[in-house]
Chain A
Amino acid sequence: MTQTVDNIRTGYALFGDADYQAMLARKTADCEDAASPEEVKKVFDWTTTAEYQELNFAREALTIDPAKACQPLGSVLCALGFEETLPYVHGSQGCVAYFRTYFNRHFKEPVACVSDSMTEDAAVFGGQQNIFDGLQNAVALYKPKMVAVSTTCMAEVIGDDLNAFITNAKKQGYLDESIPAPYAHTPSFVGSHLNGWDAMLEGVLRTFTLNQMDGKKVGSNGKINLVPGFETYLGNYKVLGRMLAEMGVETTMLSDPSSVLDTPADGEYRMYAGGTKLADVADAPNAITTILVQPWQITRSEKFIRETWNHEIPALAMPMGLAGTDAFLMKVSELTGKAIPASLAAERGRLVDMMADSHTWLHGKSFSLYGDPDFVMGLASFLLEIGAEPKHVFCNNGSKKWKKAMEKILAASPFGQQAEVYVGYDLWHLRSLLFTNKPDFLIGNSYGKFLQRDTLAKGKEFEVPLIRLGFPLFDRHHLHRQTTLGYEGAMSIVTTLTNAVLEKLDADTMTMGVTDYAFDLVR
């Protein structure tokens, strides 16, 4: 009996009370057949050793705490970025419940997406009737301008043919001919969420341009197309367009979910808001060229754009950090003939000013980082630019080619000499590395909090604090609104990193009369 009306305590505070603690201790002692605390300690300590790391890295079959998700998650995000488009996933319904939930938790926004709820009978007979009924029902209820179809692994394993099914649905009147229904096969047992994003984009581009290339002329609309890839920072959709607008360059973002994932609370729920206009997709081949903002994750669309639109896609890295943004802007200037205005030079100068102000706290600090390939490469490059030292550069869904390119970047910098690059490894591998070769900080998504907890469990001096940059971010609010690209994004990253270092320093110097001689007011 522990609650009082003036101090109602949630579980985290409540369960610390003596009566609950005694109850939990009794449960463990009497009912659980639990290992002794000594044994648990012994095994925990063993999991922090080099010996354990060797066993851990010898894994061939088991994945523990992956840092990647499956294809249709990506296809849904891509689909959300088009005007009045309803993402539609052909296959088991549970997948869609998961995708929606995953995005809800990250964006703190509604996410509309339907499934056609295939069950055992569809596994036997195929899912054509599901897609017929599903398209008809979805359009009646949600009145989309476009339905963007991808698949779950169930539909892929049984070999459903989306092209035939959708064609038949239109022929037989289940879906109005006027409603575009691009599709992508997105088997979750191939690649990761990044491939699903790429496949869905290719499906959309194919639908609007493959057979409509007559009269299209590269450069005729004077625009630059931007392909954002699987991008979960809303600010990044805006910053690229803003920089190019300052140059007087018009852009078409090929999938822009930044409005639908950022609608106001004003009494009305908008299922559709903003997004790339379908007319702009149709017009996209007329652009000067297409820039892949995250080139490592765009392969199918890249091929389509190159071969069908005849765009010469420039070789650019993700515009993250100083040099990445410089190269991006200079390339746009070269492609369009438009000068980079003084406003952007000044913005760059402000970033360099911030880097100068903060370099003293970041220089020589070591960071382990994980995430999707372009994000990790961009962030590692920026760390080098400010004199910070990447330690473990980790990419679960990176390729061998990416690894080589990453190693080349690191080798070229004096600050990259101690870095080790890992592709295809999971966060349980990274856990071993954090114990055996401790970095000052870890950069990653919310799952990284468990790694911080584990390192702290060994002792305060072994703790590796997590800095949250990436996807998903479930346990902090509104970080998804930030910008990480362009000079503006780099400013935000410098701020985040520097203040993480300073917070750690404060925590380390806050003990009254013991360490607080260095608890400085001015840092």
Chain B
Amino acid sequence: MATTKAETQALIDEVLQVYPEKARKVRAKHVAPNDPSLEKSKGCITSNRKSLPGVMTVRGCAYAGSKGVVWGPIKDMIHISHGPVGCGQYSRAGRRNYYTGTTGVDSFGTLNFTSDFQEKDVVFGGDKKLVKLLEEANQLFPLVKGFSVQSECPIGLIGDDIEAVARKSTVDLGKPVIAVRCEGFRGVSQSLGHHIANDALRDHVLGNRDDEEFPTTPYDVAIIGDYNIGGDAWSSRILLEEIGLRVVAQWSGDGTLAEMERTTKVKLNLVHCYRSMNYISRFMEEKYEIPWMEYNFFGPSKTEESLRAIAARFDETIQAKAEEVIARYRAQWQPVIDKYKPRLAGKKVMLYVGGLRPRHVIGAYEDLGMEVIGAGYEFAHNDDYDRTLKDLKEATLLYDDASAYELEEFVKRLKPDLVGSGIKEKYVFHKMGVAFRQMHSWDYSGPYHGFDGFAIFARDMDMAVNSPVWSQLKAPWLADADAPEAAVVNG
């Protein structure tokens, strides 16, 4: 395995050789050996650029970033997938944003509301249909708190004025109706969808209750950028409450419109997924002078570090409680490490996830004695890589917007013990006999956040790495036969 930057670069050059020249030049900027001495990642790796056509990017679209990530989990609103039927269907109930409530009555998270565009809607426009369907939804779901209109590709191409519809329907229905211009062709990935979604929340949600009397405390905080996948926000919230803080809002996992509207009254915004929600945090800092800080609740080392850093923003009572909580949970997580570290120490991990986790989970793996030997983001920006370089060793392989081809070739060459990525990658590596965990959905497990989540994380990584399945790939009568490694992807 590569240990120097030159060796990593040689591996990169070899893998990129297959590309046509024009494409190879582009990709060469997105794949690099890590240089932890750099303050800015720009000198090392390029990100947030258009994906090359035809290379099998893993990326999704702006709609996925807005409806699928940011807006979708707000549970007491109805989010309309506005356009043809597919987008809403494919994104229905797939992300495991847990919430409490009575679905179809006061909560709507796993339902799929769509305008199911037909040809006539494309030709004549869909604004009238949108007005009508909002009325129908409001009638059939009287407890709904508001609506978002999540634009699919055609909306922005046919000249519909959904903003006008939203303004009028907001008055007519007496509930917020928010138009979101997250057409899938906008931008280069989900990331612009996050930004567009943040902007829509800024313009139409934040501040709606600024005049409301809402009793506040000096300890009010909001969780920003936790989508409660498998309950992550809950296993985080419980720790924040235990150290004496009051969580007023969750953005947006298990979130409600009221929570989001009242976020302007908190004392501190706690940002977990920086990539998808730094925008709204910066805005609240500018307009409402609410400071924000990033934190990391993956693995006990980072969780303790984060709890202390959060507590340091408050008075001594909070700091004392934080120390109490940290001491108390040691009794919980130390036995977890004692059990699993001997089984996992020295195991090598390659990560390829969205815009946060490739850096945020490094500490959790290290707590278990594992090493991250390759990491990359689907849709990160420079500032994410800035935050990543220092957490990885020199010459660690970095890949931005990796194609299916690249990821497979890198894994073949680096031979990790575990790959953490998404469902589209998962089964490729199962065929290759490489242990795999989905690091978007927690492979239908979780939560992974906080101390309670870490126990599950440790158990799951052990389950993957030490499954007896991986040693049984070769039929016994073929075990001795020469098995030359497939040289090309389609071997």
Cβ B105 vs Cβ A47 within 8 A: yes
- Show 12 A/B contacts (Cβ-Cβ < 8 Å), sorted by A: A3-B332, A23-B234, A23-B237, A40-B106, A61-B133, A64-B114, A93-B59, A94-B63, A114-B54, A117-B52, A142-B489, A450-B110
Q: Mark contacts of A108-121 with chain B using CB atoms, 8 A cut-off: 1 yes-contact digit, 0 otherwise.
A: 11111111111110
CA distance A356 to B315 in the complex (A): 77
CA distance A249 to B13 in the complex (A): 52
User: Is the C-beta of A412 less than 8 angstroms from some C-beta in chain B?
Assistant: no
A113-B56, A135-B54 given as contacts; is B119 within 8 A of A190 (CB)?
A: yes
User: Is the C-beta of A334 less than 8 angstroms from some C-beta in chain B?
Assistant: no
Q: Which residues of A contact B157 (CB under 8 A)?
A: 123, 154, 157-158
Q: Which residue of B lies closest to A152 (CB)?
A: B153
Cβ A114 vs Cβ B55 within 8 A: yes
CA distance A15 to B230 in the complex (A): 10
Binding site for A on B (CB under 8 A): 18-20, 22-23, 50-64, 76, 83-94, 98, 100-106, 110-119, 121-122, 129-130, 132-133, 136-137, 139-140, 142-143, 145, 152-154, 156-158, 184-188, 190, 230-231, 234-235, 237-238, 241, 247-250, 254, 256-259, 262, 328-329, 332, 335-336, 338-339, 403-405, 408, 423-424, 426-433, 445-447, 451-452, 455-456, 458-459, 469, 473-475, 483, 486, 488-491
Cβ B459 vs Cβ A454 within 8 A: no
CA distance A1 to B154 in the complex (A): 49
Cβ B53 vs Cβ A131 within 8 A: yes
Give the most central of A95, A113, A189, A267: most B CB within 10 Å: A189
Q: Which residues of A contact B111 (CB under 8 A)?
A: 64-65, 428, 450
CA distance A271 to B428 in the complex (A): 9
CA distance A56 to B140 in the complex (A): 7
Q: Which residues of B contact A447 (CB under 8 A)?
A: 92
Q: Which residues of B contact A188 (CB under 8 A)?
A: 84-86, 117
B335 CB, min distance to chain A CBs, angstroms: 4
CA distance A65 to B85 in the complex (A): 10
Q: Mark contacts of A411-444 with chain B using CB atoms, 8 A cut-off: 1 yes-contact digit, 0 otherwise.
A: 0000000000000000010010000000000000
Q: Which residues of B contact A61 (CB under 8 A)?
A: 115, 129-130, 132-133, 136
A117-B51, A188-B84 given as contacts; is B118 within 8 A of A1 (CB)?
A: no
User: Is the C-beta of A59 less than 8 angstroms from some C-beta in chain B?
Assistant: yes
Cβ B133 vs Cβ A267 within 8 A: no
Cβ A70 vs Cβ B455 within 8 A: no
User: Is the C-beta of A143 less than 8 angstroms from some C-beta in chain B?
Assistant: yes
User: Is the C-beta of A55 less than 8 angstroms from some C-beta in chain B?
Assistant: yes
A97-B58, A110-B431, A189-B121 given as contacts; is B256 within 8 A of A34 (CB)?
A: yes
Cβ A63 vs Cβ B249 within 8 A: no
Cβ B234 vs Cβ A20 within 8 A: yes
User: Is the C-beta of A514 less than 8 angstroms from some C-beta in chain B?
Assistant: no
Stretch at the interface among A99-107, A238-246, A323-331, A344-352: A99-107
Please give 14 more A-B residue pairs, beta carbons under 8 A apart, in addition to A8-B458, A122-B185, A137-B54: A3-B452, A27-B237, A31-B259, A43-B105, A56-B140, A62-B115, A65-B112, A98-B87, A101-B423, A110-B428, A133-B54, A134-B54, A141-B54, A153-B84
The residue that B137 contacts in the complex, of A19, A39, A52, A62, with Cβ under 8 A, is: A62
B485 CB, min distance to chain A CBs, angstroms: 9
A60-B132, A189-B119 given as contacts; is B451 within 8 A of A10 (CB)?
A: no
A113 CB, min distance to chain B CBs, angstroms: 7
Q: Which residues of A contact B156 (CB under 8 A)?
A: 123
Give the most central of B88, B231, B424: most A CB within 10 Å: B424
A134-B53, A265-B433, A267-B474 given as contacts; is B85 within 8 A of A66 (CB)?
A: yes
Q: Which residue of B lies closest to A24 (CB)?
A: B100
Q: How large is the interface on A (under 10, 10 to 19, 20 to 34, 35 or more residues)?
A: 35 or more
A19-B238, A104-B423, A104-B424 given as contacts; is B53 within 8 A of A94 (CB)?
A: no
A333 CB, min distance to chain B CBs, angstroms: 40
A384 CB, min distance to chain B CBs, angstroms: 30
Q: Which residues of A contact B101 (CB under 8 A)?
A: 34
Q: Which residues of B contact A154 (CB under 8 A)?
A: 153-154, 157, 184-185
Q: Which residues of B contact A270 (CB under 8 A)?
A: 431, 490-491
Cβ A1 vs Cβ B56 within 8 A: no
User: Is the C-beta of A88 less than 8 angstroms from some C-beta in chain B?
Assistant: yes
Cβ A136 vs Cβ B427 within 8 A: no
Cβ A269 vs Cβ B431 within 8 A: yes
Q: Which residue of A lies closest to B239 (CB)?
A: A1
CA distance A447 to B145 in the complex (A): 25
CA distance A84 to B59 in the complex (A): 24
CA distance A440 to B17 in the complex (A): 61
User: Is the C-beta of A32 less than 8 angstroms from some C-beta in chain B?
Assistant: yes
The residue that B427 contacts in the complex, of A52, A64, A110, A131, with Cβ under 8 A, is: A110
Cβ A266 vs Cβ B473 within 8 A: yes
Q: Which residues of B contact A271 (CB under 8 A)?
A: 489-490
B391 CB, min distance to chain A CBs, angstroms: 26
The residue that B102 contacts in the complex, of A40, A119, A266, with Cβ under 8 A, is: A40
CA distance A139 to B98 in the complex (A): 41
User: Is the C-beta of A28 less than 8 angstroms from some C-beta in chain B?
Assistant: yes
Cβ B54 vs Cβ A97 within 8 A: no
CA distance A108 to B60 in the complex (A): 20
User: Is the C-beta of A5 less than 8 angstroms from some C-beta in chain B?
Assistant: yes
User: Is the C-beta of A138 less than 8 angstroms from some C-beta in chain B?
Assistant: yes
